[in-house]
């Protein structure tokens, strides 16, 4: 098997995650889909790392994880406070950005 298949898998997962972001209304699920996209990227980085024969790709993937952790903390806090304010976790309910 050609290891490039990992990249196809990564792009497939990324696309599924992106479609999920667009389709789902529940903020938590949207957020999970974002995580899925990040993980797909990580898989690609790891595959690239293997392709080039050095560890820089893994380092980047590692940093992605750290940033994702920070993002999750803040994002979930936002969801919680949003839920407190609106009693709803739907992203469509927060549609005040229009005339």
Partner 1 sequence: MTGLAAAATTTSTGEALQFWVLGTVAVIGALSTVLMRRAVHSALCLAGTMIILAVFYLANGAYFLGIVQIVVYTGAIMMLFLFVVMLVGVTAADSLQETIKGQRWLAVACGLGFGVLLIAGIGNASLTHFNGLGQANAAGNVQGLATLIFTKYVFAFEITGALLITAAVGAMVLTHRERTERAATQREMSEARTRSSHLPPLPAPGVYARHNAVDVAGLLPDGTPSELTVMQTLRQRGQIRDVSSEALADLKALEQRSEDRLGRGHDSSPREEEEAAK
Partner 2 sequence: MENLIALLVAAPLLGAVVLLCGGRRLDRIGHLLGTVLAAASFVIGAVLFVDMLGKGAEERTFTQHLFSWVPVEGFQADVGFQLDQLSMTFVLLISGVGTLIHIYSIGYMEHDERRRRFFGYLNLFVAAMLLLVIADNYLLLYVGWEGVGLASYLLIGFWQHKPSAATAAKKAFLVNRVGDMGLSIAIMLMFTTFGTFAFGSVLPSATDASEGKLTAIGLMLLLAACGKSAQVPLQSWLGDAMEGPTPVSALIHAATMVTAGVYLIVRSGVIFNAAPDAQTAVTVVGAVTLLFGAIVGCAKDDIKKALAGSTMSQIGYMILAAGLGPIGYVFAIMHLVTHGFFKAGLFLGAGSVMHGMNDEVDMRKYGALRKYMPITFATFGLGYLAIIGFPGLSGFFSKDKIIEAAFAKGGTEGWILGGVALLGAAITAFYMTRVMLMTFFGEKRWENDADGNQPHPHESPRSMTIPMIVLAFGSVFAGGIFGVGDRFLKWLEPVTGHAEGDSPVSAMTVTAATMVVLVIGVGIAWAVYGRRPVPAVAPRGSLLTRAARRDLLQDDFNHVVLVRGGEHLTRSLVYVDHTLVDGVVNGTAASVGGLSGRLRKLQNGYARTYAVSMFGGAAIIIAATLLMRAV
Distance separating alpha carbons of residues 15 and 71, to the nearest angstrom? 20
Size of the site for partner 2 (CB under 8 A): 12
Q: Do 64 and 42 meet the contact criterion of CB atoms below 8 Å apart? A: yes
Interface with partner 1, residue 3, by CB under 8 A: yes
What is the DSSP secondary-structure string of 21-49?
HHH--BHHHHHHHHHHHHHHHHHHHHHHH
- Give least dist CB 32 to partner 1, A: 5
- 7, 9, 13, 21: residue in contact with partner 2 (rule CB under 8 A): 21
Instruction: Tell me which stretch binds partner 2 (CB under 8 A): 1-9, 44-52, 65-73, 87-95.
Output: 87-95
Interacting residue with partner 2 among 18, 29, 36, 79 (CB under 8 A): 18
61-64 long-range contacts (CB < 8 A, ≥24 apart) are: 64/38
Least distance (Å) between residue 1 CB and partner 2: 25
What is the C-alpha to C-alpha distance for residues 82 and 65, in angstroms, rounded to an integer? Answer: 25
Decide: is 92 part of the binding site for partner 1 (CB under 8 A): yes
Nearer to partner 2, 24 or 58 (CB): 24
């Amino acid at each position: 098997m050609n290891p490039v298949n990992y990249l196809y898998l990564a792009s497939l997962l990324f696309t599924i995650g992106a479609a999920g972001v667009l389709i789902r209304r529940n903020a938590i699920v949207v957020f999970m889909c974002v995580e899925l996209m990040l993980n797909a990227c990580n898989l690609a980085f790891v595959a690239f790392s293997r392709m080039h024969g050095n560890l820089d790709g893994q380092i980047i993937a590692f940093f992605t994880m750290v940033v994702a952790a920070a993002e999750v903390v803040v994002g979930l806090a936002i969801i919680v406070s949003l839920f407190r304010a609106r009693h709803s976790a739907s992203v469509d309910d927060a549609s005040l950005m229009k005339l």
